[in-house]
Structure 1
């Protein structure tokens, strides 16, 4: 099966080429995560301070400490498990919702759109791998891709809406504009380019 490259319909990629590019991207992602885990596992001397001199971070130490804190009771007085706090405050961003509903909507649409598209891509990948192993399914990969086209469009527009709100907010709202650094613009610009290029590639393909 040949895959659309995102450039022209005539230029297509083979399954092996797609797997090579995907493997490279995954390796870069995992390497970055390991570096972050090592940095977080080094420990700090206080809030917003650097780790102790000579302290070497450990990804395993960080993950072990993190899991121990997840399963234990919170020490902040409310007695709720930290896992519950992580779900409400990180996944659903409860604290941001209390401060600014618009900012919460912006963050939630970006996270929900991005993660949903990631999940749909994972489902498509799983179906194609099953087909590669010769296991019969009640549908073909092409039929499954057509089935996913509508949710892909929906969550693509959800992501685009969140990115547009983020850009406009940083241009219009003075507090957000003053707090935005170049790293934020680079990250936001990257997400915007990836989102727009997806719509452009789909338009060229169809």
Structure 2
């Protein structure tokens, strides 16, 4: 986080921006759940067209065949993407690396912000320990970053070199996949510029511009979270697992 502060993006501005993005994202989830609830029937009239109706309907459907079926579907079809693997091992590799790379990097970023808060205020005197943990997170960041880059590269390559995939590619696909690829590249380049990077070392070391790329990387990532995911067809990253669970697997 310290890299941003040299560019005028202070700690409190980072916090404010993060809260704003999370607020927009949570409202986007709420908005979509409420919209989906408008198509539901079979419950009390006062609940119809509501957020809570969707939640109640989904829980009823997802657990209709028992907890074990829910857990089995969640593990095999949501976490391991069994249905995608059956259709295409290449698409499975692309989806699973993008999914886990993106989700875990987002979680690590959240942990990093919490650690930065401990460091910033020296909470309970644990600033030094937080700095040690923060430094230890560099390797997981790199590993899951490479995983995300691998998946995004497969996605870009399929749309460039496979005619049938290219013919089905829409502007939405270009924006999302291109955005993920650009976010990953700028994040890596910012890390490489700091020097001593995993697999690369100090080949690209140029610390003076590292904060600039780090800032671009963060703003692009936050924009993807707040502007694109909740308000476009890419809400399917949440809708698809919910649908699979509600149907208890199957096709």
Which TM-score band applies after superposition, normalised by the shorter structure?
A: 0.7 to 0.9
Check conservation: 1:4, 1:13, Cα contact below 8 A: no
1:96 matches 2:88: no
Q: Kindly state the Cα deviation for residue 133 of structure 1 after the two structures are TM-superposed.
A: 7.0
Could you tell me how far apart the structure 2 residues matched to 1:108 and 1:18 are? 30
Check conservation: 2:115, 2:134, Cα contact below 8 A: no
Question: How many corresponding residue pairs?
Answer: 188
Superposition RMSD in Å: 2.5
Alignment match, 1:197: 186
Matches within 5 A, 1:5-154: 5=4, 10-43=6-39, 57-73=49-65, 81-131=69-119, 132=121, 134-137=123-126, 139-154=128-143
1:155 matches 2:116: no
Could you tell me how far apart the structure 1 residues matched to 2:6 and 2:112 are? 22
Q: TM-score, normalised by structure 2?
A: 0.66
Could you tell me how far apart the structure 1 residues matched to 2:61 and 2:19 are? 32
Check conservation: 2:118, 2:127, Cα contact below 8 A: no
List gaps (5 residues or longer) in structure 2: 42-47, 195-206, 208-251
Higher mean C-alpha displacement, 82-91 vs 155-164: 82-91
Could you tell me how far apart the structure 2 residues matched to 1:87 and 1:64 are? 22
Q: Kindly state the Cα deviation for residue 138 of structure 1 after the two structures are TM-superposed.
A: 8.5
Structure with bigger RCO (C-alpha 8 Å, 6+ apart): 2
Could you tell me how far apart the structure 2 residues matched to 1:86 and 1:174 are? 34
Alignment match, 1:4: 3
Would you identify which runs of 4 or more consecutive aligned residues in structure 1 move more than 6 Å? Answer: none
Task: Flag the structure with higher helix content.
Answer: 2
Q: Kindly state the Cα deviation for residue 80 of structure 1 after the two structures are TM-superposed.
A: 5.8
Could you tell me how far apart the structure 2 residues matched to 1:122 and 1:20 are? 14
Check conservation: 2:40, 2:53, Cα contact below 8 A: no
List gaps (5 residues or longer) in structure 1: 46-55
Q: TM-score, normalised by structure 1?
A: 0.80
Aligned to 2:65, what secondary structure does the other structure show?
coil
Check conservation: 1:37, 1:59, Cα contact below 8 A: yes
Q: Kindly state the Cα deviation for residue 204 of structure 1 after the two structures are TM-superposed.
A: 4.0
